[in-house]
């Protein structure tokens, strides 16, 4: 295995440690066995000496008590054995040597030894007694060569067995280590391969032991890593493509609002090379008066969506942008990604459209006002003609005159409504904060008579919120919606109108619900178009301008209006108004 020194290998470590422990234990065992065997040999030696002593005493006490010197000498000669008993000297209780074998007469007797020294002659003495009477002392020498030989043989055999055991253990452990480490090496090599980027490699599981389990876990980890890496690569690719291919400018900033990265669209939209942008403060994108607003968006801890801001390009030109910003984490660091959409062209179109609408409104107002003058003249002269010449005309003529008069009146009504529609948002007073309750109350006051006649019950659950807008237009809005509910009330039940307000995303949603006749779903869009009527003139009066005016007012306040209804049950008109400072 590459990168692992010979002595650092697991197998070598296991083998070395096991053999070292085994050798140590065997040495301890040998030492212990040797000590025990020595002790046992010594004990056996003394036991044997005791037994021999009894025999010596039995053999010698009688002849000694009988003072039978010849027998004593015979016994000593018979007892002496060069290999075991090297000499025997019998001394009577007068201290006289009465018999000796293997020991010179003139040679002084050695002192008896307390314990044997293996390999050396053991000098011992034995009192010769009979019937508890001491008759003399036998001095004798015991050779311990056999003990030494036995001890050496024991040690040699022990060492041989230990050596064989170490050798067999080394072989067995080597095989085990080889089998174990081979699989671990495979795992290691697979891990290295994965580290190099090849996530497709897997290791064979083999036996269902711990290493096999490790291999299964390794493969599971590799599978998971492969899936994660693939997902990450896909995500990175998508992000990279989205980042680089986005038509909107994108910037990534750090927690200090330094620009970390920008995309190609940024370079194009802001006329600023990437290399200049990187590392710069984000405030480089705006003039001093908007720097604080931009910093507030970029440095916000929250997600910001669709805020308009005017920024400065690299060439100094101003740029209207719609900015969205959110927090992201890159390489463990908190960052922020912002998308800047260039809405300069749209703003210009909106401005032009605004001007066009204003001109059209002006035209409609002027036209309506001017059209009424000739219509009034036609109506006056038709009325004069009817009044002066009615009796001179036949019935058909009078009927024609009545048609002309009715047509003039309807046209006047239409012109008035058109005038009303065009004037609905002409009040150019700037939006101001007011309470919706005031607008509602104004509307109810204006409609007091109508409400009384219809016996309608109008409820308002809770206090209505503060909003920013034109109170006159919102009063008109309530007035039109409540009037609409009264107009299309059900003849089968008392009219109940419920007005509520609920907060939603940066705005308020106000609902005006009734239990009137309801509207079929197919007309939900149509009812907000100008001069669109769902019923004949004979059934309900009106020109179909009311809800169109409502829509115009709501849209003037950057809101939206829609309806939910079920025929025969009732209708709920809902519209949104922006909250003050974007917080409902």
Partner 1 sequence: MRIFDKPGLAAFCLVACLLTAFQARAQTAPLDVGIFPHLSVRTLMERFQPLRDHMERRLQRQVTFVTAPDFQSFVERTQAKQYSFVITAPHFARLAQLKAGYRPLLQPKSPMRGVFLVSAASPIFKLSDLKGRKVATPDRLAVVTAMGEDALQMEGVKIPQDATLLALPSHNAAVLALRHGQAEAALISELQFLQMKAEERAELRPIATTKTLPMPLIFMAGPNMPGSEADAIGNAILDFAKTDEGKRFLDMTRYQDIEPTSEAEMKQLDPYLPALERALGEKP
Q: Which residues are near partner 1 by CB under 8 A?
A: 61-63, 65-68, 71, 93-94, 130-135
**Among candidate residues 508, 521, 502, 512, the one with its CA nearest the CA of residue 546:** 512
Distance CA 427, CA 512 (A): 24
Q: Which is nearer to partner 1, 65 or 84 (CB)?
A: 65
Q: Which is nearer to partner 1, 65 or 199 (CB)?
A: 65
What would the two tokens of residue 145 be? Answer: 């060569």
Distance CA 512, CA 474 (A): 13
In the bound complex, what is the minimum distance in angstroms from residue 70's beta carbon to partner 1?
A: 8
In the bound complex, what is the minimum distance in angstroms from residue 133's beta carbon to partner 1?
A: 6
In the bound complex, what is the minimum distance in angstroms from residue 109's beta carbon to partner 1?
A: 21
Distance CA 556, CA 553 (A): 5
In the bound complex, what is the minimum distance in angstroms from residue 77's beta carbon to partner 1?
A: 17
Q: Which is nearer to partner 1, 130 or 146 (CB)?
A: 130
Per DSSP bridges, beta strands 304-312 and 318-330 are antiparallel
Q: What sign does the dihedral 567-569-570-574 (CA atoms) show?
A: negative
Q: Which is nearer to partner 1, 132 or 331 (CB)?
A: 132
- Rg of the chain taking only CA atoms, in angstroms: 60
Q: Which is nearer to partner 1, 114 or 132 (CB)?
A: 132
In the bound complex, what is the minimum distance in angstroms from residue 46's beta carbon to partner 1?
A: 25
**Among candidate residues 406, 411, 404, the one with its CA nearest the CA of residue 543:** 411
Distance CA 373, CA 560 (A): 36
In the bound complex, what is the minimum distance in angstroms from residue 142's beta carbon to partner 1?
A: 26
DSSP H helical ranges for 280-335: 288-298
What would the two tokens of residue 260 be? Answer: 């970390």
Cα atoms in the Cβ-side hemisphere of radius 13 Å centred on 407: 8
In the bound complex, what is the minimum distance in angstroms from residue 116's beta carbon to partner 1?
A: 31
Cα atoms in the Cβ-side hemisphere of radius 13 Å centred on 331: 2
Question: Burial, 275: exposed, middle or buried (Cβ in 10 Å; 0-12, 13-18, 19+)?
Answer: exposed
Q: Which is nearer to partner 1, 40 or 134 (CB)?
A: 134
In the bound complex, what is the minimum distance in angstroms from residue 85's beta carbon to partner 1?
A: 23
Distance CA 198, CA 473 (A): 69
What would the two tokens of residue 419 be? Answer: 């005038």
Q: What sign does the dihedral 540-546-548-551 (CA atoms) show?
A: negative
Distance CA 497, CA 458 (A): 5
In the bound complex, what is the minimum distance in angstroms from residue 124's beta carbon to partner 1?
A: 23
Question: Burial, 455: exposed, middle or buried (Cβ in 10 Å; 0-12, 13-18, 19+)?
Answer: exposed
Distance CA 138, CA 61 (A): 10
What values do phi and psi take at 273, rounded to 5? -60, 150
Q: Which is nearer to partner 1, 94 or 196 (CB)?
A: 94
In the bound complex, what is the minimum distance in angstroms from residue 101's beta carbon to partner 1?
A: 19
Whether 211 contacts 183, CB under 8 Å: yes
Q: Which is nearer to partner 1, 99 or 456 (CB)?
A: 99
To 10 degrees, what angle do helices 395-423 and 344-389 make? 150
3-state SS class at 229:
helix
**Among candidate residues 60, 64, 97, the one with its CA nearest the CA of residue 80:** 60
In the bound complex, what is the minimum distance in angstroms from residue 73's beta carbon to partner 1?
A: 13
Q: Which is nearer to partner 1, 65 or 187 (CB)?
A: 65
**Among candidate residues 465, 500, 499, 437, the one with its CA nearest the CA of residue 581:** 465
What values do phi and psi take at 97, rounded to 5? -75, 120
Whether 515 contacts 570, CB under 8 Å: yes
Paired strand residues for 509: 502, 576
Q: Which is nearer to partner 1, 59 or 312 (CB)?
A: 59
Distance CA 531, CA 418 (A): 9
In the bound complex, what is the minimum distance in angstroms from residue 102's beta carbon to partner 1?
A: 24
Q: Which is nearer to partner 1, 92 or 484 (CB)?
A: 92
Q: Which is nearer to partner 1, 62 or 542 (CB)?
A: 62
Q: Which is nearer to partner 1, 61 or 475 (CB)?
A: 61
Q: Which is nearer to partner 1, 99 or 272 (CB)?
A: 99
In the bound complex, what is the minimum distance in angstroms from residue 76's beta carbon to partner 1?
A: 16
In the bound complex, what is the minimum distance in angstroms from residue 125's beta carbon to partner 1?
A: 19
């Amino acid at each position: 295995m590459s990168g692992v020194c010979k002595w650092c290998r697991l197998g070598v470590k296991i083998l070395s440690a096991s053999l070292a422990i085994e050798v140590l234990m065997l040495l301890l065992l040998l030492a212990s066995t040797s000590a025990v065997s020595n002790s046992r040999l010594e004990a056996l030696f003394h036991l044997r000496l005791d037994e021999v002593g009894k025999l010596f005493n039995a053999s010698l006490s009688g002849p000694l008590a009988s003072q039978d010197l010849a027998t004593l000498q015979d016994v000593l000669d018979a007892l002496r054995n060069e290999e075991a008993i090297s000499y025997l000297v019998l001394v009577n209780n007068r201290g006289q040597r009465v018999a000796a074998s293997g020991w010179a007469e003139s040679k002084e007797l050695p002192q008896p030894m307390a314990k044997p020294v293996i390999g050396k002659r053991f000098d011992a003495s034995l009192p010769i007694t009979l019937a508890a009477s001491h008759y003399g002392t036998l001095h004798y020498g015991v050779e311990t060569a056999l003990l030494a030989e036995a001890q050496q043989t024991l040690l040699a055999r022990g060492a041989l067995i230990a050596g064989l055991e170490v050798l067999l253990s080394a072989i067995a452990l080597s095989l085990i280590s080889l089998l174990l480490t081979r699989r671990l090496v495979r795992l290691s090599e697979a891990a290295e391969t994965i580290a190099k980027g090849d996530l497709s490699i897997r290791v064979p599981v083999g036996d269902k032991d711990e290493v096999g389990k490790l291999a299964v876990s390794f493969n599971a980890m590799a599978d998971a890593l492969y899936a994660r890496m693939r997902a990450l690569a896909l995500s990175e690719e998508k992000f990279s493509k989205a980042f680089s291919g986005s038509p909107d400018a994108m910037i990534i900033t750090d927690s200090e609002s330094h620009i970390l990265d920008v995309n190609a669209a940024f370079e194009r939209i802001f006329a600023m090379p990437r290399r200049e942008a990187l590392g710069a403060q984000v405030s480089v994108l705006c003039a001093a008066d908007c720097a604080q607003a931009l910093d507030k968006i970029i440095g916000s801890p929250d997600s910001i969506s669709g805020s308009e801001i005017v920024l400065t390009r690299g060439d100094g030109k101003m740029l209207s942008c719609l900015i969205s910003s959110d927090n992201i984490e890159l390489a463990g660091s908190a960052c922020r990604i912002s998308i800047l959409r260039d809405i300069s062209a749209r703003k210009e179109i909106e401005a032009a459209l605004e001007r066009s609408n204003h001109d059209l409104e002006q035209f409609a107002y002027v036209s309506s006002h001017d059209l009424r003058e000739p219509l009034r003249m036609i109506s006056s002269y038709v009325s004069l003609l009817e009044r002066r010449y009615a009796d001179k005309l036949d019935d058909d003529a009078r009927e024609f005159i009545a048609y002309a008069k009715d047509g003039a009146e309807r046209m006047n009504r239409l012109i008035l409504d058109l005038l009303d529609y065009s004037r609905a948002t002409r009040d150019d007073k700037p939006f101001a904060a007011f309470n919706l309750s005031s607008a509602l109350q104004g509307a109810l006051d204006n409609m007091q008579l109508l409400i009384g006649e219809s016996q309608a019950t109008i409820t308002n659950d809770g206090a209505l919120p503060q909003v920013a807008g034109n109170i006159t237009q919102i009063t008109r809005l309530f007035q039109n919606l409540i009037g609409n509910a009264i107009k299309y009330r059900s003849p089968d039940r008392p009219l109940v109108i419920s007005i509520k307000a609920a907060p939603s995303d940066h705005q308020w949603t106000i609902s005006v619900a009734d239990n009137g006749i309801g509207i079929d779903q197919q007309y939900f869009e149509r009812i907000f178009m100008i001069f669109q009527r769902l019923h004949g003139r004979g059934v309900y009066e009106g020109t179909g301008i009311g809800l169109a005016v409502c829509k115009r007012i709501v849209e003037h306040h950057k809101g939206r209006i829609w309806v939910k209804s079920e025929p025969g049950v009732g209708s709920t008109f809902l519209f949104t108004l922006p909250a003050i400072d974007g917080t409902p």
